[in-house]
Structure 1
Amino acid sequence: MGRLVAPLGVLLLLLPPLSWQSGACRPAECCFQDLPSPHGNSGSGLGPRDLSCYRVFGGGHYECSWRYDGPREGVSHFLRCCLRPGPCCYFWAGSATRLRFSDQDGVPVLRSVMLWVESRAANWTERSPEITLRLHEWVKYERPRSATWKYLPPGWLQMAWEVPEDSTQLQFRRRGPGRAWELGDCGLQDEPGFGGGDHGDSGRSRSCLCPLEAAEAQEFQFRWRRLHWSGAPGGPWSDWSDPECVPPESFPQPAVTLELAQLGQDGRRRLLTAPEQLPEPELPEGCRGATSGAKVAYFLRVHMRSCPCQAKATRTVRLGRRKLLLSGGAYDVAVVARTSLGWGPEQMLRVPAVPAATHTGPEALTVSVGADGTALRWEARAPGVTHCVEWQPCGQDTAPNCTLLSPQDPGSAGSGTHSWSPAPGATGQDQCFRVSIFASAHPEKPTAWSTVLSSYYFGGNASVAGTPPHVWVQNYSERSAAVAWAPSPLHGCPGVLTAYAVRCAEDGGRVAEWLVSPTETQVTVRDLRPGTRYTVQVRADTAWLQGTWSPPQYFSLAPQESQVFILSVSLGSFVTILLVGTLGCLGLSRAARYLWPPLPTPCASIAVTFEDSQREQCLWPTWVDCVEEALPPETLVVEKCEGADEVPGTEPPWHSRLAAQNREPSAAEDVPRAPLLLGGLSRWPPALEAPRRGCGPGDEAAAPDSDCDHPAGS
């Protein structure tokens, strides 16, 4: 019986309803009575248009809508529906431009029907263009609801929805401030990165990749429509979604003034925030509401880096003129913007911890080390508060260790205690710790903590570990020396090292000690005795115990020598060098006379000169024409020059005299001769002496006092 119900229902939808035959019209159904004859067309062109009829997805009903731009007064709209071939019916819509009906209202939704709208007034009728379709197959989706956003840097935004069916086409439009709409398509939904079940469990999640603007806000709207398996449209576009307002990718950071006060007696310090005018991006028209997603909100985020074991370490408040109370621990204070895209970049400010101090008195930290571990004891300020004990090795950028002590944990007499033991298998290490203790009556609030105390503690044997690793002596002088040492390992633990002690001892003699500031690593030891051996040692002292002396370092000063002896040795060396130089110079001069004797220069001498009255002289050739030859010595004979035409009182030319000298004398000639060796010639400078004349045999008798050269032996 059930197999006949479905075919019967389909048959009833295909057959014309009974109202088509009876002619009776019921309310809200398609009436098959004839309408009055239409009046003439107004010709204004303002009649109905853009008719769209469809099945509403998931609603179980059908709907037709159109647009009308004509006069509103006295107008009535009629939706006409006709089978081809077959009868026609109409729906009266009054002045409305949207009509809803069901498959029971007389319209054959499984068959192709022709639809149009007639708008009638008192004396005119306007008609829209006709459309033909099967209403059951032409489906319109509801408009998209709010999307899920996902920011994809750089410059893209992915929006995802749960679509009604698998075959769905998505489209968007966007605009910026003061700009018109710009249409865009979301692409094929089966491509990688565009959904495919990435955003839901139903397997019908689809997404759209939209561009972001770097410096301005945008308004997005989306719509979708059904697609057939062939890719052809299966229905009209849905209505546009509500605006999706997207802030700019980057926006200016606000200028905020932060003032941090000093730590007070209550262990807290005030943080004052004073922001200037907060920047707001310009918004598109559809995003100017109070709840617009394009708006930017600024917040102040305070994160307590100290005491990381607390339940909640971060507090976020709206940015404005505020006063926050912070402890003496370390904090991160950030100004951050929040938009519909999420939290924006942070403007970070690091607040360092207040330097630890060496506490004395009732609030002092007492540390005791035993076989079971290390125990801390301090004075609690108020009962019923939670304490946080934090310790961190100095010089290490690691998260500190901490422990929360509930209000019932503190010991008797209002004191707080805490102890810890070394881990199994761990060996003791000599290192410096910063120990801080915080207290709060509301530990769930990170801005409700206060500092009880903060100090440094050196774990291990400080007496041995504090010994300077290297000691040396430098800069010796006549009666002093400088003792230097490498800084003690306690130097890096503020407040632990109080002084250095330096000891200097003579071998079998006096001993002296000096205390030096913990910031100094050198001291000068004076009044030392030359030639004496000394021993120096250094130790590092703390406030509660003395350190261990360093290994001994030995040194001695050279014996002092007499100044008179040094002066005598210096003077003797100078005199010796002077004498050796003088004697060497004289010896070289005498040796030079024998090694390099002076050579004669005969060509440059004038052997004989004659009287000026003779106007002629017997001269040697010039030195340029002389060629030195090794010839045997011969006697130089000076003769009186006489010629055939000689005039008394004159001398023959010099070439005649040379010729007479070279010829052999005859027996008949009786010429006086004066032998003269070449080596006995004297060279007289022409500029200092007048030339001398040679004297003949008759010259001496004629003029005995004349200035002439007499021959040898005369």
Structure 2
Amino acid sequence: MPWLLLLLLAILTQIGDACRNGECCFQELSFWERDSGSVEGPRKLLCYRIFPKDFECSWQYNGDPTNVTHFLRCCLRNGDCCYFEAGTTNRVRFTDQAKVSILQNVTFWVESRVGNRITMSPKITVVLARAFKYDPPSGDMVISKLHGRLMIEWKTPEKQENAIAEYRYRTWNGTWEQGDCGGQTNADVETCALQLEGPVAYEIQLRRHKKDSPTGQWSDWSQSICIPAEILKIPEMNYTVGKLNNSGKRDLILDWEPKQVKQPLNCSEKVNFSLVLRMVSCSCRPKAKKKMKLEKVIQVSGAEYDAIIQTQGTIGPQLNRTFHIPAELDSGFIQDAEFLNISTSEENMTMQWFSLERKVRRYCIEWYPHLANWTDAKCALESFQESKNNRKVTYSWNKAFGIMDLGKCYRINIYASDKPHNPYSWVTVFSVHHFSGDVLKAGPSHFKVKRIIAHEVTLEWNPSPLSKCPGVLKKYVIYCWDETNNKTIGYDVNASALEYTIGNLSEDTFYTIKIRGITTTTFGAWSEPLRFKLDRKPAHKFPFLLLCVLIFAAIVLVAVPVYFVLKRVKIFLCPPLPNPSISSATKFLAEDMKLVRPWTGSSNTMEDVGLREQLLIIEVSSPKVEPEVGSEVKLLNFEDPKGIPDIKERQMGGENDPLLDLELPSGYRRQNHVEIVGEDGPQDPRQLCGQDDDDRKKNGTIFHLSRGRGPCKDINTFSSFSSKTI
């Protein structure tokens, strides 16, 4: 069967020539059509040495990487070529045992096959042993700020000394800015110094390169280093403190809003906020201080604390803000602390209370005078061993340690903890004020009657010494005994009151009154009884005189307004008659008097009657009518006329005196009405204008001149004046 042996030999030969995994395969690849005009294909091929002893080639591919198959082709110096099949990845890593020379020039290129087409990258020739590519900075980095410069420090990768480094950075909306870190001379630690501007957040990346290696490659960029904006000040913070609950704790609520700063793409703000709580109360206890992560709500006891808020960014100094949390005053007892008994003498002092139901290893007792500085407080620690049969805790000390002065007010605080070194573990047992003295003798003094009015009495007293101790004196109780009716009434009075009025008392009755104070635990002693009588008061006489005065005053108050009201009504309903002496109707204007022609009669008559500012009345009578004896011409003048002859002289005129040629002034011709008065009464002037001269003589008219134009356009002369003319 020689043919069978030949077949087995051929199979073994093919198996020996097959490509092994991790080695460069020297078999021929099937031929595919080369696509030289396509824009798709591999590019930027790099081959280099990576540490500790491997080698790597990487490239980029333009196009859809889904159905592509990459082949890394290598041609040695002797002309032999091989290939590595990469599949869809764009990176091939191999060792010095991959049948590829590392000390001689090797030509590399990439063939990418899609379907029945193939694209090739540009060829490169490199000596792999000298083409170093260092690792980028990695691991923990130390970031600090020195003299305004940002310092980044990292550990040198193993066997990668003698390197140079570069950095690049960007802000939240900027592009990459690149800089040089310089050569690294330290074999253990490498550093990079950056000059950054402004309190903004930065994203920084680093890379390394072997010094004096022209064929070497830069390492990849390191992972992003996020540098938050430097914190220039701590955020504003408010806090509120709640009331103590039944567990002896209260809520400390912190409220702050850190300033939001815009971050670069791959960064987030890294600012650490922490709270350092330090217990101030009970100075004799072990130092209790603890740092913890800052939270919104923290539970603390009713003691006094200092809280320190610490803010630490990636760079910049740590910023602190301290605020003071005052102690909870007069909190009283918590739910399971039921009893407190304090006895004080001149030699020693003893306190007793029931322990808490929770686990307690240490009690802290402090006391100090009321209104004194708490820093002067006396402090003592008391260890407690829990017992099922006995929950009472007793603490006593002698005069040498310091006791409370009698008759004074003190503040007492007792705290408990199962972990004395932890400030968060302390709880308040109680916080009260205590009067160190005989409470029975500390009642109100100088109790007396202040005044008695009608059916009530007002009492007053000096305050009790207990009232100066907050929370000790709860109230006063007044005891009132009606001796006549043998009836007792009690009155509760506020502890801050210094007087009280009792009403609804009966007249002609004896009363006995006492007062005492009441504390939270005991009743004070009664004051000395106060006895008084409420006398019957005589009836008062009716005040007739006062009533008369009030009636008279009421009449005056009513009469005066009525008088003035009636006076105003009278003026309104009955206005006064006009006074001619003050009327302008009786006066002639100066320019109107210039138009009156002077009188040219006999010398015995008046030559100048001074017509200015006078009212002229002209009486005309018929010649057939005899003048009456004693009649006279009436010249109305409200001022004494000057230069006018006597009335009797004016009566001497005769019938032959020339007629008065009187032309009415132009102002009077413009009047709308002329009233003519005759013996028969007023007549219409339109009738007179139609009469002849004889008729007018018979009528003997009297013309009253008034402003307005009459029906007669011109009246120039008047005939047959009477013997009494003007």
TM-score (norm 2): 0.46
